[in-house]
Amino acid sequence: MVSLIREDWGKEPQSEICISILDYLSSRLANPPRHITNALLQQIAGSRYSSAEILIAVQYVCGDRVHLLEPRFELIEDDQAYDIAKSELRLAHKTGQLVHPETGELIDNFEDKVFIYFEPSFSMMCTVG
């Protein structure tokens, strides 16, 4: 996996960021994290990298080449979190309406209440584990 990352990124900052993410996930195989936030990814990458550099690296590790992380989405409302399927979110962006996963009610201003997080991908767990 490291060789793929180095082959793709060489000496670019994303190479080190991706390897840091891989190291973080590999060190937690016995108890894998299930809710990796953008803030945690910033912490894993370190303060010497810009948000843009980290975003590019995160997009890469979610892609098919190494597929370390799987993006997930959640609706946070009234201090409660509800998982939102990618297909539901795509439909909401097309129609401008998101249906609450439990109540069935339409969510006003859903863009302000839906957040991304990440989980280790199944292929990552199989490849590294």
25-52 per-position pLDDT tens digit = 999 988 889 899 999 999 999 999 999 9
- Predicted pLDDT of residue 127: 58
The residue segments making up the domain with residue 94 are 2-128
> Which pairs with CB-CB distance under 8 Å and at least 24 residues apart come from 57-63?
57/13, 57/14, 57/17, 57/18, 57/21, 58/21, 58/118, 60/8, 60/9, 60/14, 60/18, 61/18, 61/21, 61/22, 62/118
State the average pLDDT over residues 14-19. 97
How many domains, the chain? 1
pTM (2 d.p.)? 0.86
- Is the pLDDT score of 98 beyond 80? yes
